[in-house]
């Protein structure tokens, strides 16, 4: 292989051990960066930022310029799918996302929706990014997992424990499964189009997997993600896929095999001894507590070293256990990258 086209994240997704491990951070483009806040102010609403290729490309590239991460993640949001199917998604300052909540009698109509052309600007962003990024930088596309998307569709906003979606699923199991299958089909189409536009790999975010019981985890987290992965692979057999089921704990033991993901993302509550077991079956990604990046100092150094020591001799993509938060000091990210790459923090 020509060294200039070598993408370390892809090597790890193929099961290789890369030392030092490649690194990127979930939500690496975001409010902790002054240059993001500047572009965000110019773009208008948050969705305008997502749907304007010029701005979305700019904010995707900002953390790459600053830190030289091994992967760039398309700047967008998991809620663009609900937006594309007409659920009136709004991001209001300080209150998190808002959508039209979905009642059970809307299931038939919602499961007949199509993506249409609304997400075309996202594919254009992906094309421009692949052309502008350094060849050695992996470009990641993404979508939300059907369960996590459904939690927002049903409640109409974020909730601490997703009680509205859990209740809906117990009351209307057949309608709920139909809804998840439909979201999975739209998500597969969305990911295939991202891959065709230049994404080298994709990540599926199941941020709310941790609130599901064992039976529901299989039904609502594993199966719909497997459905997406099967459809993407049926269309693009060499697609590389990372699945992140936050809070899944012990259920991660079979998650990779049951979903067929190339890598599984780990949140910071996953013990490193268990993470090592999971790594025997393939690549893992994670799992530094984002609060260690806010704290800095010894908390940051010890957290990094523990992960490198436990997981550095196997296929690892270094990342946080969830998105970086707005309070993080950009200098701590500089220290983090340096330490992972073998320098002193």
Task: State which of residues 125, 194, 207, 259 lies at the interface with ligand CP3 (CB under 6 A).
Answer: 207
Residue of the chain from 27, 223, 227, 339 that contacts ligand CP3 (CB under 6 A):
27
Residue 219 is among the residues annotated as catalytic for this protein: no
CB of 151 to ligand CP3, least distance (A): 9
Residue, CB closest to ligand CP3: 207
27 is a catalytic site residue: yes
- CA dist 322 and 287 (Å) reads 8
**Which span (27-35, 120-128, 179-187, 213-221) binds ligand CP3, by CB under 6 A?**
27-35
Nearest C-alpha neighbor of 199 from the set 33, 342, 74? 74
Instruction: Rule CB under 6 A: say whether 205 interacts with ligand CP3.
Output: yes
Candidates 11, 70, 77, 185; catalytic one: 77
Tokens encoding 193? 């189009």
- When asked if residue 73 is in the footprint of ligand CP3 (CB under 6 A), the reply is yes
**Residue 335 falls in the annotated catalytic set:** no
112 included as an active-site residue:
no
Beginning with the edge strand found earlier in the chain, give each strand of the sheet holding 241-245 in spatial order.
71-73, 138-144, 201-206, 241-245, 263-266, 283-288, 316-320
Q: Is 156 in the site for ligand CP3 (CB under 6 A)?
A: no
| Binding segment toward ligand CP3, per CB under 6 A, in 12-20, 71-79, 82-90, 332-340 | 71-79
Instruction: Tell me if 31 contacts ligand CP3 by CB under 6 A.
Output: yes
For ligand CP3, how many residues bind (rule: CB under 6 A)? 23
Q: Which is nearer to ligand CP3, 149 or 310 (CB)?
A: 149
Among 68, 96, 116, 134, binds ligand CP3 (CB under 6 A): 96
Q: Is 323 in the site for ligand CP3 (CB under 6 A)?
A: yes
Site membership for ligand CP3, residue 26 (CB under 6 A): yes
Binding to ligand CP3, residues 40-69 (CB under 6 A): 40, 46
Candidate list 30, 198, 265, 314; residue touching ligand CP3; CB under 6 A: 30
Q: Locate 155 and state its tokens.
A: 């409640």
Window of 10-18, 91-99, 184-192, 217-225 that interacts with ligand CP3 by CB under 6 A: 91-99
Q: Pairing relation of β-strands 96-98 and 90-92?
A: antiparallel
Q: Is 40 a catalytic residue?
A: yes
Contacts with ligand CP3 by CB under 6 A lie at: 26-31, 40, 46, 73, 75, 77-79, 91, 96-97, 142, 144, 148, 158, 205, 207, 323
Would you name the residues annotated as active-site residues?
27, 31, 40, 77, 152
């Amino acid at each position: 292989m020509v060294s200039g086209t070598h993408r370390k994240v892809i090597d790890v997704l193929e099961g290789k051990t890369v030392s030092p491990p490649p690194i990127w951070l979930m939500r690496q483009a975001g409010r902790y960066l002054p240059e993001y806040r500047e572009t965000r102010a110019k773009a208008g609403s948050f969705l305008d930022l997502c749907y304007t290729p010029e701005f979305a490309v700019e904010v995707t590239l900002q953390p790459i310029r600053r830190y030289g991460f091994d992967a760039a993640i398309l700047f967008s949001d998991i809620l663009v799918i609900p937006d594309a199917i007409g659920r009136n998604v709004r991001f209001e300052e300080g209150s998190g996302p808002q959508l039209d909540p979905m009642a059970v009698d809307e299931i038939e109509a919602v499961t007949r929706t199509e993506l249409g052309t609304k997400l075309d600007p996202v594919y254009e962003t992906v094309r421009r990014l692949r052309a502008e990024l350094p060849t050695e930088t992996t470009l990641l596309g993404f979508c939300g997992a059907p369960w996590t998307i459904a939690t927002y569709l049903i409640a109409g906003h974020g909730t601490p424990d997703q009680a509205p979606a859990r209740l809906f699923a117990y009351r209307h199991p057949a309608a709920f499964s139909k809804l998840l299958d439909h979201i999975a089909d739209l998500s597969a189409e969305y990911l295939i189009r991202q891959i065709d536009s230049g994404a080298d790999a994709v990540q599926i975010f199941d941020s709310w997997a941790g609130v599901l019981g064992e039976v529901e985890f299989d039904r609502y987290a594993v199966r719909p993600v497997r459905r997406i992965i099967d459809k993407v692979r049926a269309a693009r057999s060499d697609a590389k896929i990372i699945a992140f089921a936050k809070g899944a704990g012990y259920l991660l033991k079979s998650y990779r095999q049951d979903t067929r993901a190339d890598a599984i993302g780990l949140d910071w509550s996953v013990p490193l001894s268990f993470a090592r077991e999971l790594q025997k079956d393939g690549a893992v990604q994670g799992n530094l507590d984002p609060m260690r990046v806010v704290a800095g100092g010894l908390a940051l150094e010890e957290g990094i070293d523990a992960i490198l020591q436990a997981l550095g001799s196997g296929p690892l993509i270094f990342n946080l256990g969830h998105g970086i938060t707005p309070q993080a000091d950009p200098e701590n990210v500089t220290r983090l990258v340096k330490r992972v790459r073998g320098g002193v923090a």
